[in-house]
Amino acid sequence: MAYLGVEQSLNGRRWLGPSVEMDRASEALTQATGMDRAICQVLARAGIDAAGCEAYLAPALRDLLPDPRSLRDMETAAARFLRAVERRERIAIFADYDVDGGSSAALLLDWLRQMGRQATLYVPDRIDEGYGPNVPAMQALGAEHDLIICVDCGTLSHEPVAAAGCDVVILDHHLGGETLPDCVACVNPNRQDESGALAHLCAAAVVFLMLVEANRQLRERGVKGPDLMGMLDLVALATVADVAPLIGVNRALVRQGLRVMARRERPGLAALADIGRLTTAPSSYHLGYVLGPRINAGGRVGRADLGARLLSTTDPHEAQAMAERLDQFNAERRAIEAEVQAAALAQAEARGLDGPLAWAAGEGWHPGVVGIVASRLKEQTNRPAIVIGLDGDEGKGSGRSVAGVDLGASIQRLAAEGLLIKGGGHKMAAGLTVARDRLEAAMDRLGELLAKQGAGLGGAADLRLDGVLMPGGATVELIRRIEDAGPFGAGAPAPRFAFPDVAISFAKQVGDSHLKVSFGDGLGARIDAISFGAFDGPLGPALAGHNGRRFHLAGRLEINDWGGRQSVQLRLDDAAPADGR
């Protein structure tokens, strides 16, 4: 049943509210705790009962951090790493070119610097070398180093690891195969022989746990290791940017990491925050949409190792120069992305958006943007999405999934069945290489596998809401309390509320396509709202030309900090006429 009777909003979406069971759970929480109903609706959605509220609203990392030794090969990996440090062996770090890989590398480089050691950083070029270790690069590194540490990659790289000719340690989180490369240690919560209890960790979190174990082994010898709490900004950044679910220890890592980041002690992140005009304390939103895309831009359309170098530098002037360059690369990326996105969406729509998979493939589409475009396609269709750039006889693509659908496992199954040249990833994201003449068959089969997991059952236009609020009830204090239930992101979407039957007192176009609105309920309370890109669709024109008509408005609450004054702001997602017409 549509929430507030909204079967089709101005943006063409059906609104869905809390289930009867969720309403009962939130009501029970409200009565048991005395907290505001809006907060209890968010907690109930997360499955929190009255006894668990206090711990959930103030998660302690010490209580949630798993024992590193619960992961296979962890003691061996840390011991080999420390042996290389103590014997001054030559160490190379082979990192993936995304934020998770760059953050993982920076964690190791930071730790080593505090111990008076250095390492060689190697990040493969996305276009020339592709994802993960390759034989020429590993041979070259092996000839000059005693130990190679592969971060955010390597679990499926049997031949390249064998070609290294030196010891290799793998710290990864991508889905493992039936066998592992012949290496000293492969620490990966997504190995086939792991329990899966820590499958939600990103690679940087795995690296962090290895450093926790390394520090523990140092303490057993009477040696104090580097400060790890000060490195949590990198773990938080990677967790959010890699779309790892914000549950369990991930939630605590991000919360603590955001506090560390707010101190602006890492020159690279401080410079990038300034470039992105981040004037408030960072949130998970800023990690995912302001900092992350800029760090990723080097690996997508520029220099592959620039993100990792920015995150690991201690020189503010160098950081400023690299941040400016990444910002330029990000602008180039956006221009390329816009072109590919328009073509991919048109193709997917022509194919039909009612199946379990949305996909598109195009000649010469830049491999650096197909993942972002897949993410956009997933958001617009509420389905797993694959976008592939074709070049010659092959296509290279990326996919993004929706909650509850394991895309990485399905991609790996396709590779095992011979429909892909290669493929892998994790639940929410995956990469693949496919022969041009097997493209249609591969996507058909992928659709079948995803359908068995329930992909495509939700409507493409559904907007899920957590409850209703009146303008007078939306206060800065309420928002702060709701934020205590965060951070929000993958696996823990930001709560959205509906403001029913409100009158618009002010509406104005801002910039090329944005909308600013003020609204109230006629009882004196008024809220300002902003909707980005509203004039790219029907939302902006309808609200700007309201002519006194009343509307239901829906979106996310946030605190607007302007000139030292804090006020409530609604990030407006959608609207519907209150009269139902």
Residue 512: which pLDDT band, with cuts at 50, 70 and 90? Answer: confident
Name beta bridge partners: 504.
Answer: 519
Name beta bridge partners: 557.
Answer: 570
Residue 461: which pLDDT band, with cuts at 50, 70 and 90? Answer: low
Is the model's pLDDT at 162 over the cut of 70?
yes
* 138 vs 143: CA distance, rounded Å: 8
- Identify which of 290, 251, 264, 231 has the alpha carbon closest to the alpha carbon of residue 103: 231
Distances (CA, A) of 415 to 412, 424, 425, 443, 511: 5, 8, 12, 12, 46
Q: Summarize the confidence of residues 222-233 as an average pLDDT.
A: 97
Is the model's pLDDT at 459 over the cut of 70?
no
Alpha helices in 189-315 (DSSP H): 203-220, 232-241, 248-262, 267-275, 284-286, 292-301, 306-312
Name beta bridge partners: 388.
Answer: 361, 397
Q: So what CATH class is 8-13+465-577?
A: mainly beta
Residue 456: which pLDDT band, with cuts at 50, 70 and 90? Answer: confident
489 and 495 in contact (C-beta within 8 Å)? Answer: no
Of residues 457 and 13, more confidently modeled: 13
What is the pTM for the complete model shown?
0.89
310 and 272 in contact (C-beta within 8 Å)? Answer: yes
Any residues with CB less than 8 A from the CB of 1 and at least 6 apart, and which? none
Q: Using one digit for the tens of pLDDT, what is the confidence trace for 464-508?
A: 999 999 999 999 999 999 999 999 988 888 999 999 999 999 999
Q: Which fold has domain 64-327?
A: inorganic pyrophosphatase (n-terminal core) (3.90.1640)
CB atoms within 10 A of CB 289: 13
Can you give the residue ranges of every domain in the chain? Answer: 8-13+465-577, 18-58, 64-327, 352-451
**What does the pLDDT read at residue 523?**
83
**Phi, then psi, of 559 in degrees rounded to 5:** -95, 125
133 and 162 in contact (C-beta within 8 Å)? Answer: no
Pairing of strands 565-577, 550-562: antiparallel
Q: Summarize the confidence of residues 407-417 as an average pLDDT.
A: 94
**What does the pLDDT read at residue 563?**
74
**What does the pLDDT read at residue 460?**
60
Least-confidence region, from 86-100, 101-115, 341-355:
341-355
Is the model's pLDDT at 574 over the cut of 70?
yes
Q: Kindly report the CA angle at 202 between 199 and 207, in degrees rounded to 5?
A: 110
Residue 83: which pLDDT band, with cuts at 50, 70 and 90? Answer: very high
Q: What is the three-class DSSP state of 464?
A: strand
Q: Summarize the confidence of residues 551-577 as an average pLDDT.
A: 92
Most confidently modeled range among 179-193, 372-386, 397-411:
179-193
- Identify which of 534, 536, 527 has the alpha carbon closest to the alpha carbon of residue 559: 527
* 126 vs 490: CA distance, rounded Å: 25
CB atoms within 10 A of CB 352: 8
Q: Using one digit for the tens of pLDDT, what is the confidence trace for 243-289?
A: 899 999 999 999 999 999 999 999 999 999 999 999 888 999 999 99
Any residues with CB less than 8 A from the CB of 331 and at least 6 apart, and which? none
Residue 421 CB-density burial (10 A; 0-12 exposed, 13-18 middle, 19+ buried): middle
* 469 vs 496: CA distance, rounded Å: 10
190, HSE (Cβ side, Cα atoms, 13 Å):
27
Least-confidence region, from 182-186, 441-445, 456-460:
456-460
Name beta bridge partners: 409.
Answer: none
Of residues 329 and 512, more confidently modeled: 329
**What does the pLDDT read at residue 337?**
93
Pairing of strands 91-95, 385-391: unpaired
The total number of residues shown for the chain amounts to: 581
85 and 117 in contact (C-beta within 8 Å)? Answer: yes
Any residues with CB less than 8 A from the CB of 514 and at least 6 apart, and which? 530, 531, 532, 533, 534, 535, 540
Name beta bridge partners: 467.
Answer: 497
Q: What is the three-class DSSP state of 49?
A: coil
Q: Summarize the confidence of residues 330-356 as an average pLDDT.
A: 93
Q: Using one digit for the tens of pLDDT, what is the confidence trace for 95-147?
A: 999 999 999 999 999 999 999 999 999 999 988 888 899 999 999 999 999 99
- Identify which of 508, 501, 495 has the alpha carbon closest to the alpha carbon of residue 573: 495
256, HSE (Cβ side, Cα atoms, 13 Å):
20
Of residues 536 and 157, more confidently modeled: 157
Name beta bridge partners: 423.
Answer: 432
Tokens (6 digits) for 127: 């276009």
**What does the pLDDT read at residue 306?**
96
Tokens (6 digits) for 98: 């995304």
What CATH number should be reported for the domain whose range is 352-451?
A: 3.10.310.30
Q: Using one digit for the tens of pLDDT, what is the confidence trace for 289-303?
A: 999 999 999 988 888
Q: What percent of the chain has pLDDT over 70?
A: 99
- Any idea of the CA torsion for 348, 349, 352, 356, to the nearest 10 degrees? 50
**What does the pLDDT read at residue 491?**
83
**What does the pLDDT read at residue 468?**
95
